Amino acid sequence: MIELDDQQQRARAWFESLRTAICTEFEAIEAEAGSDARFEYIAWDRTDPSGEPGGGGVRGVMKGKVFEKVGVNVSTVGGSLEGDFAKSIHGAGEDPQFFATGVSLVAHMANPHAPAVHMNTRFLTTTKRWFGGGADLNPPMPYDEDTADFHAALQSACDAHDPEHYPRFKQWADEYFYIPHRKTHRGVGGIFYDHLESDWEADFAFTQDVGRAFLEVFPRLVRKRMGMDFTAEDKQRQLEWRGRYAEFNLIYDRGTLFGLKTGGNIDAILMSLPPMAAWS
């Protein structure tokens, strides 16, 4: 059992409460569509490389009428980072001991008109303490008004804390969520931030507001698009787009690498992959 200090406990409690709120909302959307789909929750434990207990988490997955596959995971892990990987983690080069807690979400939709999405927020402790995360929208068939609504919600969350946050974190997302070998972005962007460590209370409040903004805007977009008619060609376009998404997550995504390098639950780490994809 990992012993947590006050900041770590508060962060974990928030991420777990956000998970519950998001899952409740997604289940409500399924019910509105006439589906009885619900999340299946699977707890997992982690053993640190030292052999000591290293925390764990809960993997939540739902496969329904609206959400073809959505995963909402929470985890709280800690222990010691191994070898050269420790040197790549902020503040772990001097001491490989680490702690991480967070919530991670990826939703792949049944209707090609409804956008897929990724959201993750986290708190890490090494010799430093910082928050990171963000959210980005990944529509196979983009709608300008949906993109604008999504960005407006995130900008509002950012502007409430620092007017420099949104332009900085939007640019960071544009640079990060990019597939170099395809020379294309994986979606229409959002925000991405990391190593936020100027003021713990302020950074925690901002991270909470990012979660609240996501919870406010994304379900609204889903409800707008989930009942639209689509063709076989639309579905094929969605499947090929999912192939690009899978390429990014397997080759470039830092969260995937962190989970694998720290002995996380494989199914939870790879829940971001779509249930079906295609390559032309």
Give the dihedral sign, CA 206/210/212/216: positive
Ranges of H-type helices in 33-164: 83-87, 144-159
Q: 165 an active-site residue?
A: no
DSSP letter, residue 271:
G
Residue 267 phi, psi (nearest 5): -65, -35
Contact 56, 45 (CB under 8 A): yes
Cα 183 to Cα 56: distance, rounded to the nearest angstrom: 36
Give the DSSP H/E element, type plus range, for residue 42: strand 40-47
| Alpha carbon 222 to chain centroid, angstroms | 17
Catalytic residue among 113, 118, 151, 165: 118
Residue recorded with tokens 């090494």: 126
User: Do the strands 97-109 and 116-125 form a parallel or antiparallel pair, or are they unpaired?
Assistant: antiparallel
3-state secondary structure (DSSP) of residue 1: coil
3-state secondary structure (DSSP) of residue 97: strand
Contact 112, 98 (CB under 8 A): no
Give the contacts of 13 (CB within 8 A, at least 6 positions apart): none
**Which residues are annotated as catalytic?**
118
